[in-house]
Amino acid sequence: MSLIQLLLLAIMQGLTEFLPISSSAHLILLSRLLGWPDQGLVLDVAAHLGTLLAVLWHFRDKLPEMLQPARQNPQGQPSLFWLLLLASLPLAAVGYLSADWVEAHLRSEVVIAWSTIIFGVLLGLADRLPMARAHLNTGRALTVGLAQCLALIPGTSRSGVTMTAGLFLGLGRVEAVRFAMLTAIPATGMAGGYGLLKMLQQGHAVAWADFLLVTGLSAFTGWLGLRFILHWAEQASLRLFVYYRLALGLALLLSQ
């Protein structure tokens, strides 16, 4: 792969991973638009590792709480460990059973276009709900986790569908976006771990210079994207991303 391809793919992965616009869709479309071959499993793992490092660094003060295997915190509320576990188990199960099928059948531009539009509309509807004051509990965390399974469909956006679910469940915009970002830790960890396992099983050769470049650049741009969406949620609605999704989806359909 050329240096420019490596740079663009890493930047695209980092910037879109945490925005509600689907990183997988943008990576697929970028490669097809420029006539590039698929970046392959090794660079997928590098990109996921980079975005995992970004979110771990940003929430580094929460790591001790995430790593305490208790159902409740000292205040008697569901612990962050328990909430993230509940939100991650559905994706782990569904992803394990369906990842190869999704890879083989759902990466077409038509699928990306319709999922971009449909889940963009749902995000817009959720964002228009009156500001709520509900807080995370086990039921809401599990429901967000079930919704997260839809992110296996390219174009859906893992961050977008978890934000949407949180808003429909009555979480405020800031809390819904923040929990969507926290769930990225186990989600990207599982995606990267699954890819790493396949790498080992299939005996992929690794160009370490390319691997480290993609990991580092994805980490930096991912950190920028993460900071941006968390700040944006405090200041404005998510309609900008809804409009972008609708425009992208329509453009893809018209290009068919």
pLDDT digits (tens, 9 = 90+) for 54-113: 999 999 998 988 888 878 877 778 899 999 999 999 999 998 889 888 888 887 889 999
According to the model, what pLDDT value does residue 117 have?
95
Please tell me the total count of domains within the chain: 1
Cα of first residue to Cα of last residue in the chain, in angstroms, is 28
State both tokens at 209: 């210079």
Tens of pLDDT along 147-199?
999 999 989 999 999 999 999 999 999 999 999 999 999 999 998 888 888 88
* 25 pLDDT tier (thresholds 50, 70, 90): confident
Domain range holding 92? 3-254
> Helices marked H in 106-182 — which ranges?
109-127, 138-148, 158-168, 173-182
